[in-house]
Structures are given as C-alpha cells and as structure tokens.
Structure 1
Amino acid sequence: MKIEVSEEIRNACPAFAGIAISATVTNTAYCEPLWKKIDEFTVRYRETYTTDSIKNMVTIHATREAYKKCGKDPSRYRPSGEALCRRILRGIALYQIDTLVDLINLVSIRYGYSIGGFDAGKITGDTLILGIGKAGEPYEGIGRGALNIEGMPVYRDAIGGIGTPTSDHERTKLELGTTRLLTIINGYSGKEGLQEAADYMIELLKDFASAEDIEQINF
C-alpha cells in the first residue's frame, strides 16, 4: 500500500507526518486483559487531565488547528482523538466495540492522535491519498450516517473517501472477520512522539490481536 499526501494538505498543514501500520491479525469480540489495561489507564488519565486542559495537549491542539486551516470547525466536528478523551473525562466509559477498535482507541487517548483503522481487504486500489473533503462529497461515517466532510482531511482510495479524523467510512470498517489491518496515526503536530505511539500500537497488536507480518510506512 502506498500513501501519498496531497499538496493541498502540505500547504495547509506543513508539519503533518503520518505512520501507517499493516498487519495480519485475529480480531475478537472482547479481550479481558486489554480492557484491564484500558480501565487502569482511564483512571490515571482522569487524575491527570480535565476537559479544559486537553485542549493544550500538543497532538489535539494541532489536529484542531488543521481542521481550521482546511476549513472545518473542530468544535462542531470533533476529531476522534479529542472526542474519545473528552468522553472519558466526562466520566463515560469508552465504547466497547471489538479488540482491534478497542486497542486503537487506547492508543488514541494515550497520545491524543486521531487514528484510522481499516480492513485492508476492503480498500480498493494500492494507493491512498490524503486530501481535503469537497462540498457534496458522499461519505458515510461509521454509526453516523451521511457526514459532511467538506473542509476535512480525508484519505481516499480508488473509489472515494475511507477515513477522516472525525470518523472512518462504513465501507472499509473493521469487523470480527477482519484478518488484514491497516491503521494510520495522523501527526498534525509533526514527527515528535509519532514513533512512540506506533511502537505502542505494534505492542498492543502483538499482545492482543496475534499480529504477524507487521509493516510500517512513514509518510
């Protein structure tokens, strides 16, 4: 899989850096050891941050600024990393979806990145291009229905959009039958801290999703 960053994103967000990780995986409906880790982290997180202080987290602040530069209101269409952090700081438990989604969410709240998770077998073509959503561009967010992605960073395959920082697309979503994962960590704040998040993602995939054939793409 090739991943390209368009000139329009480079112009709007010159610091952007990304890491994509692909792997052969085994997904499960629920993983008790993973959720023990999530619950323990959630307690520590609530002791450290508030809904006001997370705005100053470098990764969350940079993603919000990227939305503004691309033409989207980040308070109306929250990036997923921020939305997850706000959820647990309001005392609401994280969604329990399946093991792949759950571990991606853990990485997201720990580091503040908005992270895409895709079933690589559902992606059309061998290239993803990160661009900016256009007016009227069709997009069905997971569990959200039609989503207005105008002015939002979006990854497109040969058919159309598959991922934004707010929501990934129903067409390429992870399911229990997913055996080939592609996950993308979006660093609108730049390279600093990105590899640490990727290393943690790989560790979780090995521990809880029996990941093999792991490949990393820096772009």
Structure 2
Amino acid sequence: MRIIVSDEIESVCPEFVGAHVEIYVHNSPYSAGLWGEIDRLGQEFRQTLTTETLKDITGIAATRQVYRACGKDPSRYRPAAEALIRRILQGKQLYQINTLVDLVNLASIRYGYSIGGFDADKFEGDTLTLGVGRAGEPYEGIGRGTINIEGLPVYRDAVGGVGTPTSDNERTKIDDNTTHLVVLINGYDGCEADVRANAEYILQLARDYCDGTDGSYYIYK
C-alpha cells in the first residue's frame, strides 16, 4: 500500500511523519495477557496524569494543533488517543472489543498517537492519501454513525475516507475475521524516533497476542 501525504496536510504540519505497519494475524475475542498490560498502563497514567496534563503529551498536543489549523475544535472532536486516556483518568474501563482492536488502543495510549487500525483486505485500490475532510463528505464512524469530518485529517482509499484521528470508518474496520492488519501511525509532532518505537511496539504486541507473522513497517512523510 502506497501512502501519499497531501499538500493540505504538509501546509499545516510540514513536520508530519507517519508509519505504515503491516502484519498477518489471528484475531481472538479477548486476551487476558493484553488486558494485563492495558491495566498496568492505566494505573501508571492515573498516578502521573490528569485530564488537563494529558493534553501536554506531545503526540496529543500536536494533533490538537493540527485540528485547529484545519478548522476543527479538538475539544468537540477529540483525537482518539486523548479520548482513550481521558476515559482511563475518569476511572472508566476502556471498551473491550476484540484482541486486535484492544491492541491498537493500547498502542495508541502508550505513545499518545491517534492511530488507525484497519482490515487491509477491505481497502479499495493500492493507495491511501492523507488529506483534509470536506463539507458534506460521507463518513460513517465505527459505532458512531455519520460523522462530520470537515476539517479533520482523513485517509482516503479509491472509494473514500477510511480513517481520521477521531474515528475510523465502518467500511474498513477490524472484525473477528481480520487476518491482515494495517496500522497507520500519525506523528503530527514530527518525532520519527517515537513513531518508529510505536510501530515496533505494535509488531511486538501482534506477535505476542495475535500470532503475528511477516510483520514490517515503513516511514512516510
């Protein structure tokens, strides 16, 4: 899969760096080991963060800044990493979906990047383009119905939008039968070292909890 970063994104975030992570997996309804890692990280967050200081995490702060630059209110349309960590700090459990989705959520909160997890076999075409949502552009967020993505960064395949930092699309979502995982990491803070570390972390989690094989990643800007 080829990734193109549009001029729209480069103009508001010239330092952007992303990673395309790909691995073949076996999904499962639940992984106790993975949830042990999620719970330990949640405990750490509750000891070190508040709902205000979490906004200072570099990946979250940079994503919020890009939202504003694109014309979107980040407090109304929260980046996913911020929403997930905020939920933990409020004493709530993260939603348990399936092992792959839970894995992607863990990887997101661990590094503060709003990342997209997709069933790669559901993409249309061989290219994804990162641009900005347009007025009236159709988009069905996972479990959220129609979302107004005007002013949100959005990845599009040959058919239309598949992922934003707020919500991925129902059309390409991970389900119980997903065997070909693609994860896109959005480093709006420009920290390539952290983006690479996040990519390697995802591959390791997939190997540990989803029998991952043939895993790889590449950086794009």
If the TM-score is normalised by the length of the shorter chain, which range does it land in? over 0.9
Structure 2 alignment gaps of length 5 or more: none
Mapped partners of 1:9, 1:36: distance in 2? 37
What residue is the counterpart of 1:203 in the other structure? 204
Q: Does 1:152 align with 2:159?
A: no
What residue is the counterpart of 1:20 in the other structure? 20
Mapped partners of 1:75, 1:125: distance in 2? 34
Cα shift at 1:99: 0.4
Cα shift at 1:159: 0.1
Cα shift at 1:214: 1.1
1:114 is paired with a residue whose SS is coil
1:178 is paired with a residue whose SS is coil
Cα shift at 1:27: 0.4
Mapped partners of 2:9, 2:193: distance in 1? 19
What residue is the counterpart of 1:168 in the other structure? 168
What residue is the counterpart of 1:101 in the other structure? 101
What residue is the counterpart of 2:127 in the other structure? 127
Q: Does 1:181 align with 2:181?
A: yes
Mapped partners of 2:193, 2:12: distance in 1? 19
What residue is the counterpart of 2:52 in the other structure? 52
What residue is the counterpart of 2:136 in the other structure? 136
Paired-residue identity, %: 56
Cα shift at 1:10: 0.4
Cα shift at 1:215: 2.1
Mapped partners of 2:36, 2:60: distance in 1? 25
Mapped partners of 1:139, 1:51: distance in 2? 29
Q: Which amino acid aligns with 1:133?
A: G
CA displacement, residues 152-180 of structure 1 (integer Å, 9 cap, x when unaligned):
00000000000000000000000010010
What residue is the counterpart of 1:215 in the other structure? 216
Aligned length: 219
4+ residue runs over 4 A deviation? none
Cα shift at 1:43: 0.8
Cα shift at 1:31: 0.5
**Residues 24 and 181 in structure 2, CA contact (< 8 A), matched pair in contact too:** yes
2:155 is paired with a residue whose SS is strand
**Residues 23 and 203 in structure 2, CA contact (< 8 A), matched pair in contact too:** no
1:36 is paired with a residue whose SS is helix
1:202 is paired with a residue whose SS is helix
Mapped partners of 2:89, 2:208: distance in 1? 27
Mapped partners of 1:122, 1:136: distance in 2? 23
Cα shift at 1:197: 1.1
Structure 1 alignment gaps of length 5 or more: none
Mapped partners of 2:88, 2:195: distance in 1? 22
Cα shift at 1:70: 1.1
CA displacement, residues 56-94 of structure 1 (integer Å, 9 cap, x when unaligned):
111110000010111111001001010001000000011
**Residues 203 and 216 in structure 2, CA contact (< 8 A), matched pair in contact too:** no
Cα shift at 1:192: 3.9
2:201 is paired with a residue whose SS is helix
Q: Which amino acid aligns with 1:202?
A: L
Mapped partners of 1:154, 1:83: distance in 2? 18
